[in-house]
Amino acid sequence: MSDAHHPAERPLANGRTRIDFQTEPSRYRHWKLQIDGDIATLFLDVDEKGALFEGYDLKLNSYDLGVDIELADALERLRFEHPQVRAVVLRSGKPRVFCAGANIRMLAGASHAHKVNFCKFTNETRNGIEDLSEHSGLATICAISGTAAGGGYELALAADYILLVDDGSSSVSLPELPLLAVLPGTGGLTRVADKRKVRRDHADFFCTTEEGVKGKRALEWRLVDEVVPGSKFEETIIARAREFAARSRRGDAKEGIALAPLSRKFTPGGVDYGSLGVEFDRGARIATVTLRGPTAPPPASVEAMTSLGAAFWPLALARELDDAILNIRLNEFDVAAIVFKSSGDPAAVIAYEQFLDAHADHWLVREIRHLWKRVLKRVDLTSRSLVTLIEPGSCFAGTLAELAFASDRSYMFLGRREGDNRPPAAIALTDANFGPYPMPNGLTRLASRFLANPADLGAAKAERGKMLDAAAAQRLGLVTFAPDDIDWDDEVRMFLEERASFSPDGLTGLEANLRFAGPETMESKIFARLSAWQNWIFQRPNAIGEEGALKRYGTGQKPVFDTRRV
């Protein structure tokens, strides 16, 4: 991309024109990943001068998206590069402060769209910490000496265990409301209420108290799990880390694979990855993401897969899709709709699914499935209209078919195109569509789709492994519309034009409500209830107006509020 003016409306630091989600430990400026046997320690030691945008310093271990991109990267490396690690310690590399939360000057100057997407990414990273513990047996201990304020405490809340020094000054706090007139935006309220089950009146006091809570009260109110004198801090960290490591259900793989840098080529019109291409039609406000099927059969063994490492097709494609989605979210705000296409042989995709199923207990296969799960959730939560076009020559089978079920609508080409002698489009289901990829609501996409009649889910399941043509897919309820050659172009064009003509905000709200029927989880609560309220508050004059709290923070002037309760 060549936009000199980044859509976040303030210049990126160092002349960059794009937020990049790719990094690696040798390039970290804010985190240090230290590994000692089966215990990893992540030190947060933010480089004040390493802000993502111009115009603010990252004081007191405060963070912006750039800091969180490194954390997200470190978590991926723990999954793939360090399978021997069984517990993670999160702590500060600075004295007297754990983390001051999201940088306030960054927030005060960021566009609404950047703020909202910044919160979404940090939320996904926090959820990833919990997923790492729940599904990969890698528990996190957060060790707090000094202040853990706002987003700092919210980071701690994602851990399995919070240890706080009892020294009369170390504290946890969520001072967003009293200080800034906004909410803790990274799941704090939900985790206080639903994960730590803090009594609601205690939570009310805690969240309205600038200075937070420390020592014994923090423990009694369930805000932390243990308080220790400063003199015992180090030994307690080690003891707890060893305990969690000893209880870990992580396997006994000794050696990981290297997450090599993605191969990417940016052009003004798109991004090309190895197994995936993105094309932007900026006039029509469309990003077309084309997933390419495998070009070789699956490896002969898990050893061969491990040797392929990051080049193993399912892993490469998942990482590329993740990067592509994040790039659209944070750098291409004007994209109204993401169109998913694919090219390749569905039978070849099924062969990979069978390989993964045959080795489902191998640590690397498990991590690849979990990565796909998280990437697909990222798709679910992307605030753009999503549509999948299933055309002749496509390979929407198994995991790739999930994109059709994650989409707001899907169109499947019925029959052949005149002059095209390829076989008609087919879609194929595999076990991957019936278990390993729950949505944020805890249901698979197909279970969510067929809530009205669970028998439809059974009917779809019975067709696993078959190449389903458009008529069969329609009958099974797997696709929305199935136009033929006469109607296809017009129908798809009209849909995309219509989508681009609607209010982007209205679509965001509509899609957020229709995508997640059925049960709620802590995760869905964070992205639905909490984020929606935060979005609302993030654009109220009481927060962002000239006299609002975010603008006036640090000026010595008190904010002036419109006192009407809504």
- Interface residues for a second copy in 151-210 (CB under 8 A)? 176-178, 181-183, 189-190, 192-194, 196-205, 207-208
Q: Judged by CB under 8 A, which of 142, 336, 400, 468 binds a second copy?
A: 336
Q: Does 437 bind a second copy (CB under 8 A)?
A: no
Name residues contacting a second copy, limited to 367-406 (CB under 8 A). Answer: 383-384
Rounded CA separation 422/183 (Å): 54
**Closest listed residue to residue 312, CA positions, set 267, 357, 352:** 352
For the segment 58-87, give every residue that binds a second copy (CB under 8 A). Answer: none
CA distance 302 to 296: 16
> How far apart (Å, rounded) are the C-alpha atoms in residues 551 and 544?
6
**Contact between 302 and a second copy per CB under 8 A:** no
| Smallest separation, CB 216 to a second copy (Å) | 16
CA distance 445 to 523: 16
Indicate whether 534 belongs to the interface with a second copy (CB under 8 A): yes
The two beta strands, 264-267 and 226-228, are unpaired
- Does 549 sit near a second copy (CB under 8 A)? yes
Q: What are phi and psi of 480, to 5 degrees?
A: -80, -55
Query: Which residue bears the tokens 């498990």?
Result: 366
6 near a second copy, judged by CB under 8 A = no
Return contacts of 65-68, CB within 8 angstroms, 24+ apart.
65/19, 65/114, 65/118, 65/121, 65/122, 65/330, 66/19, 66/29, 66/30, 67/30, 67/31, 68/118, 68/121, 68/122, 68/125
Please say which residue, 21 or 80, places its beta carbon nearer to a second copy.
21
Identify the three-state secondary structure at position 194: helix
Question: Is 272 or 281 the residue whose CB approaches a second copy more closely?
Answer: 281
CA distance 32 to 435: 36
Name the residue nearer to a second copy (CB basis): 97 or 174.
Answer: 174
Other residues' Cβ atoms within 10 Å of the Cβ of residue 552: 18
Complex with a second copy: residue 385 or 430, whichever CB lies closer: 385
530 scored as a contact of a second copy (CB under 8 A):
yes
Tell me which of 4, 296, 452, 455 binds a second copy, using CB under 8 A: 452
Kindly tell me which of 112 and 466 has the beta carbon lying closer to a second copy: 112
Strand order in the sheet with 147-149: 97-99, 147-149, 171-173
Among 342, 399, 410, 444, binds a second copy (CB under 8 A): 410
Residue 43 near residue 34 (C-beta atoms within 8 A): yes
Beta carbon nearer to a second copy, 112 or 249? 112
Phi, psi of 78 (to 5 degrees): -60, -35
Pick 140 or 382: Cβ nearer a second copy: 382
CB of 167 to a second copy, least distance (A): 26
Nearer to a second copy, 4 or 566 (CB): 566
Q: What is the DSSP string of 44-99?
A: E---TT--SBSS---GGGEE-HHHHHHHHHHHHHHHHT-TT--EEEEEESSTTEEE
Q: Which is nearer to a second copy, 301 or 539 (CB)?
A: 539
Residue 279: which H helix or E strand, with range? strand 276-281
Q: How many residues bind a second copy (CB under 8 A)?
A: 93
For residues 126 to 155, the per-residue mask of contacts with a second copy, x marking binding by CB under 8 A and - elsewhere, is: ------------------------------
Q: Vertex 426, ends 518 and 408: CA angle to 5°?
A: 30
Between residues 46 and 182, which has the closer beta carbon with respect to a second copy?
A: 182
Can residue 55 be called a binding residue for a second copy (CB under 8 A)? no
Question: Which of 451, 462, 471, 486 contacts a second copy by CB under 8 A?
Answer: 451
- Site mask for a second copy (CB under 8 A), range 489-528, x = bound: ---------xxx-xxxxxxxxxxxxxxxxxxx----x--x
- Is residue 561 involved in binding a second copy (CB under 8 A)? yes
The verdict on 112 binding a second copy (CB under 8 A) reads yes
* 557 lines the binding site for a second copy (CB under 8 A): no
Residue 118 CA: distances (Å) to CA of 105, 353, 386, 399: 14, 33, 20, 27
Site for a second copy in 254-293 (CB under 8 A): 285
- Judging by beta carbons within 10 Å of its beta carbon (0-12, 13-18, 19+), is residue 49 exposed, middle or buried? exposed
- Least separation in angstroms between residue 126's CB and a second copy is 16
Using the rule CB under 8 A, is 222 a contact of a second copy? yes
- Interface residue with a second copy, options 480, 484, 487, 547 (CB under 8 A): 480
